[in-house]
Structure formats: structure tokens, C-alpha cells
């Protein structure tokens, strides 16, 4: 049986789809057969970040409605043998997904894949609830700002009360915290919450701190998951997060202010 992993947050624009693409790709890189499912009906972006937007013929809603089979709708990644994408519909209403339909598709995916990564829409509406309902584990993506952390706390409450595991009285969804767009220099200036502040508020295990990086935007524009850019700090940080997700002990990087060398101080060079 597959492990169903939801990537969620209360707030939009925190990097959920970037994270879903990076985590899914990272799991596939480590030999796990993985599918990333876009739950954001009407606003799909996962296919763009994965670089497969021109190959979408059938989508998640088509499969739920019986208009296509999973094998017709699944898009195989061109870079990795064991990575697949199930795109969201761009033209349907957000109510096109149903609990029964989602359950049927996830059960079928679970027979073939080791990991099903659910890329959740923002907020607490139906799509987000469906994305988290069947989850075994959850990655809560948050920015180091008060409103984002507060919204993430709300999502933790929903995971604890509205998931299938909660309703059945089973072991709770395993929760992980991923902090994105982190800038240590802004933290020292008091413009941003620090890692410890966020950990203290949310009180869940931190699996990654992704630094603010131009590499993320560049990778998204190129249709390449940023984790494949192993020269970038963001790519390395996502790789570390995948290792921690799989149970490895990895020291956190990119959370302290980097001391600049003499040449960088003189010429304003970047790290």
C-alpha cells in the first residue's frame, strides 16, 4: 500500500506546488515509485512546474467521472523512470471532485505507487479538505510570517479533527513542518519570524528550511523541480528535507547568517 502524503497550508503563495514537485521528485530520485496529484481544480500549476503542461490530455476530474482511465491520465516524467503526474482540470468547477471519487482514484494509485503526493489548494475549502482527508502524513508549508503561521495552525486543527484517521479514531496523521522563503538576515533585523519562533507556535517536527532563493523562480519558469538544481541552496535544502522525511538524521543548513568573505565584502558578491 502506498503512503499518502498531503502538502498543505492555510495560505496561498507559500510554495506548496513547488514543494510537492520537489518532494515527489526527491522520493523518485531515491528509488520510490511516486505520483504527484494536483488537487487545485481550476487553477492547476503542478504541470507547469513539472514541465509537462503540453502533455496533459486527461485530468483528475476525467478519471473521477469515468471519462478516462488512470493509465490514460497519468503523465510519466521524462527525467525519472518512476515519477508520474496526475494533473488537475483547468476548466471544471472546484466542486467537480467528490469524496467517493477521490477515494476510488487514491485506492487505485495505492496499488501501483509507493508514495502518492497530494498537492493541496490553499485554504480550508472543499479541495483542501479532499486533499488532506485520506492522508497518512502531511507537510505543512509555511512562510516565516505571523499570518502564514496562524493559518498553518488552523490547518493542523483540521488535520487533527477532519481527516479520515481522526474520524475513525486511528493513529493521527503524521505532521511535518516545512519553512519556505527563509532569510536569516531579515530574521536578525526582526522583519521575519525565526525558525525557533515558528517551531514554538506550531509544535510539530521541522523537516526543512528552504532559503529565499532566485533558483526557485528560475526552476519554475523552466519547468524543472528545483530539487534537481543541486548547485542551488534551495535544491539542497529540499534534498535534505526528503532525507529527513525518510527518517534520516540530517543537520539543518541555511538557517544562520552566512559570513561574507573579504572579496564578497569588497565587491558585493553573492554567496
Q: Which residues make up each annotated binding site for ATP?
A: 11-18
Annotated binding site: 11-18
Q: Give me the residue label for grid cell 533558483.
A: 215
What is each CA distance from 205 to 4, 37, 128, 209, in whole angstroms?
A: 18, 24, 21, 12
Q: CA dihedral defined by 120, 128, 237, 228, rounded to 10 degrees?
A: 0
- Comparing C-alpha atoms, which of 24, 13, 19 is closest to residue 210? 19
- Give residues with Cβ within 8 angstroms of 246, minimum separation 6: 27, 30
Query: Which residues, 6+ apart, have CB-to-CB distance to 142 below 8 Å?
Result: 9, 11, 14, 148, 149, 151, 152, 177, 178, 179, 180, 198, 202
83: cell is 515519477
Amino acid at each position: 500500500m502506498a503512503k499518502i502524503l498531503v502538502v498543505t497550508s492555510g495560505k496561498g503563495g507559500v510554495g506548496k506546488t513547488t514543494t510537492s514537485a520537489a518532494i515527489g521528485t526527491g522520493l523518485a530520485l531515491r528509488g520510490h515509485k511516486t505520483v504527484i496529484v494536483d488537487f487545485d481544480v481550476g487553477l492547476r500549476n503542478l504541470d507547469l512546474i513539472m514541465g509537462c503542461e503540453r502533455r496533459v490530455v486527461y485530468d483528475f476530474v476525467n478519471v473521477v467521472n469515468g471519462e478516462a482511465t488512470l493509465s490514460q491520465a497519468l503523465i510519466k516524467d521524462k527525467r525519472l523512470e518512476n515519477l508520474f503526474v496526475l494533473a488537475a482540470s483547468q476548466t471544471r468547477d472546484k466542486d467537480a471532485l467528490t469524496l467517493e471519487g477521490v477515494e476510488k482514484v487514491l485506492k487505485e494509485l495505492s496499488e501501483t505507487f509507493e508514495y502518492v503526493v497530494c498537492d493541496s489548494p490553499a485554504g480550508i475549502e472543499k479541495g483542501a479538505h479532499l486533499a488532506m482527508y485520506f492522508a497518512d502524513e502531511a507537510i505543512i508549508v509555511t512562510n516565516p510570517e505571523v499570518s502564514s503561521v496562524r493559518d498553518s495552525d488552523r490547518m493542523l486543527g483540521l488535520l487533527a479533527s477532519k481527516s479520515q484517521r481522526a474520524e475513525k479514531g486511528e493513529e493521527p496523521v503524521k505532521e511535518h513542518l516545512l519553512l519556505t522563503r527563509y532569510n536569516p538576515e531579515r530574521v536578525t533585523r526582526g522583519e521575519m519570524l525565526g525558525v525557533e519562533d515558528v517551531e514554538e507556535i506550531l509544535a510539530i517536527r521541522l523537516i526543512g528550511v528552504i532559503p529565499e532563493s532566485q533558483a526557485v523562480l528560475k526552476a519554475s519558469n523552466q519547468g524543472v523541480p528545483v530539487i534537481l538544481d543541486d548547485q542551488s541552496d534551495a535544491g539542497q535544502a529540499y534534498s535534505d528535507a526528503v532525507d529527513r522525511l525518510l527518517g534520516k538524521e540530517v543537520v539543518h543548513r541555511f538557517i544562520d547568517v552566512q559570513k561574507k568573505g573579504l572579496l564578497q565584502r569588497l565587491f558585493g558578491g553573492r554567496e
